A and B are shown apart, each in its own frame.
Chain A
C-alpha cells in the first residue's frame, strides 16, 4: 500500500531516488540540498537501499565520479545546488555529451555574490546550454513523482540524456507537507532495471567519449539535439503512463490551468505556479478571464506545444526567478518571445522578474502581474516589457 508521509521536499527527492534503486549515489553536500544526501546515506546505512554510496571531496569530482559510474551502464544519482552546480559545470557537459542518463536533483539557490543560500532558478538556468533536460517542480509530491519519471525518460533509447530535477531551495526543499510514497513493486513495474545500449565492460572493451575529428564532432551535437527533440514526446508519454498507473499528474512538459477561454495567461515555473493558481481562482471569480501555464520542462523547451496552446491568447505574463544580465529578460521570457517570432497576431509577451535571492513573491504581487498582463491583452500594449518585482526595498 502506498503510504502518506509528512516530509519536506528534500526527503521527497530522497524517497523518490530510493524507489528507483540506483546502483551508485555520489554527491557532495551543499545548502539547501544537503538533507537529500543525508537521507540517502541513512537509507543505505539502515540497509533499506542497496546503492553504493561514494563520499567525495567536491562537486566537480562528484559529477565526474557519477559520469564514470554511469559509463559502466549502471543507474546513478547525484544532487547539488547553486555554486556547487557551477563548480561541476565541466562535468555537466561531460555527462550530457556522453549521453549518460544520470538523474540529478538541483535544489535551486541563487548564485552569489551577493551571497545568499536562498531560492532562485538562476543557478540551473545558467546551465541551460550544457545539454541536460531540466524539469522544474513545485511541491514535494511533484518532486517524488518527477524523479521516478526522470529515470524512465533519461534511460529511454530515444533520449539518453541526463536530467536535472529542479526545485526551489527552502521554499520547496524545506517545506513539510503530505507526500504519498508509492509501492516499490509499482515503481519497479513502471521503471524496470536500466539496460544500457553501450557501456564500459572489461569483457567487451570499448572507448566512450573519445576524440571526435572535425568531420564528426558537429554530427554528435546534432544527434544530441535530435534526442532532445524526441524527449518532448517521451516526457509526455512517461507522464501519461505515470498518471494512469499512479493517479497523479503534474503535467509532462507543462500544465495548463483555466487557459481554454483565457484572454491572458500567467506563465511560471515551480512553486510560484502553486501560489499563482490561488490568484487565478480569485480573479476568475471576479470575472477576469485569466489562465495559468505552469512550465515544467525548460529543456527541452516545448516551443511548438506552447505556440499552439498560447496562440489564441492575447497576452502572456512570464513570471520567473531568473534573469539574463545584458539579455534584458528572464530566460523563459526570451525563449517564449523567440518562439513567437513571425507569428502573426501572437500574444503580447511581458516579463516579470521576481523571487531571486530568496525574495518571496506574494499573492498580491502575482495578482498585479496577472492584472497587468490582462490589461496588456485588452489594450494591446504593456506598461513595460520587463518589470522587476522589488516591492518597497530595492
Chain B
C-alpha cells in the first residue's frame, strides 16, 4: 500500500487532486481511498488530503501518519508543523516552489520541485495548481500513467476547463520527467 499526504490551502484543489489520482489508480486496476481533513471551511486555510493506493482492499480509514509521498501545494506551508509529521528517509517530497533553493530549506532527503504555480498561471490563467501537481506526481512516483490521469481529470472537472487542466498536468509531468527528478 502506498500512502500519499497532500498539504494545501483551501481553494488550491488539493482535495480534488487526491480524488483525481485515486480515480486514475482505480482505472489502472488498483484500489484507492481519498478523503480530506478539514479544520475550517474557508479559502486559504491549511487543508490536508489523504490518499491510499493498494493492490488489495483498503481497510485503514485513519489519517495518514507515515506517508510515502508528501505533496506540498504551497511553499508557504513548508514550515507548517504537520508537513514533516511521520516522514521517513524514503518519503518523497513533491513541492510546488519557484526554485529548488526555496524548497530545500525544509531539509528532507528526497525532494522533487516543480513550479506548478507558473504552469497554472500560464495554462489556466488562475493560481489553481492541483492538476499540475497531479502531473508532476505521475512523473515523480510512476504510480499512475499520464493517460489514466488525463481521463481522471476529464471525469472530475467540468468539460469547459478539462482540456486546459490536462495540458497543465502534461506540462508539469514533462517538467519533472524531462528535467530530471532533481532528487
- Contact check, A176 vs B61: say whether CB atoms are below 8 A apart: no
A72 at the interface (CB under 8 A from B): no
B30-46 contacts to A (CB < 8 Å) = 31-38, 41
Which stretch of A296-304, A339-347, A355-363 is in the interface? A355-363
Q: Which listed residue (A6, A31, A118, A175) contacts B61, Cβ 8 A?
A: A175
* A280: min CB distance to chain B, Å: 10
Query: C-beta contact mask, B1-45 vs A, less than 8 Å → 1, else 0?
Result: 000000000000001001100110010000111111110010000
* B18: min CB distance to chain A, Å: 8
Count of A-B contacts judged by CB separation below 8 Å: 63
What's the interface size class on B, roughly? 20 to 34
Q: Which residues of A contact B22 (CB under 8 A)?
A: 6, 176-177
> B interface, by DSSP: helix, strand, loop or mixed?
mixed
Which stretch of A247-255, A269-277, A329-337 is in the interface? A269-277
Q: Which residues of B contact A118 (CB under 8 A)?
A: 38
Chain A residue nearest in CB terms to B36: A174
- Contact check, B34 vs A175: say whether CB atoms are below 8 A apart: yes
- Contact check, B38 vs A274: say whether CB atoms are below 8 A apart: no
* B105: min CB distance to chain A, Å: 27
Q: Which listed residue (A8, A31, A360) contacts B62, Cβ 8 A?
A: A360
Q: Which residues of B contact A6 (CB under 8 A)?
A: 19, 22-23, 26, 32
A31 and B41 in contact, given A6-B22, A174-B35, A176-B35 (Cβ under 8 angstroms): yes
Query: C-beta contact mask, A255-292 vs B, less than 8 Å → 1, else 0?
Result: 00000000000000001101101100000000000000
Write 28 A-B pairs (CB below 8 A) sorted by A numbering. Answer: A6-B23, A31-B41, A118-B38, A170-B36, A170-B37, A171-B35, A171-B61, A174-B36, A175-B33, A175-B61, A176-B18, A176-B22, A176-B23, A176-B35, A177-B22, A177-B33, A177-B34, A177-B58, A178-B31, A272-B61, A274-B60, A275-B60, A277-B59, A360-B37, A360-B62, A360-B63, A361-B62, A363-B62
- The residues of B with any CB-CB pair to A shorter than 8 Å are 15, 18-19, 22-23, 26, 31-38, 41, 58-63, 65
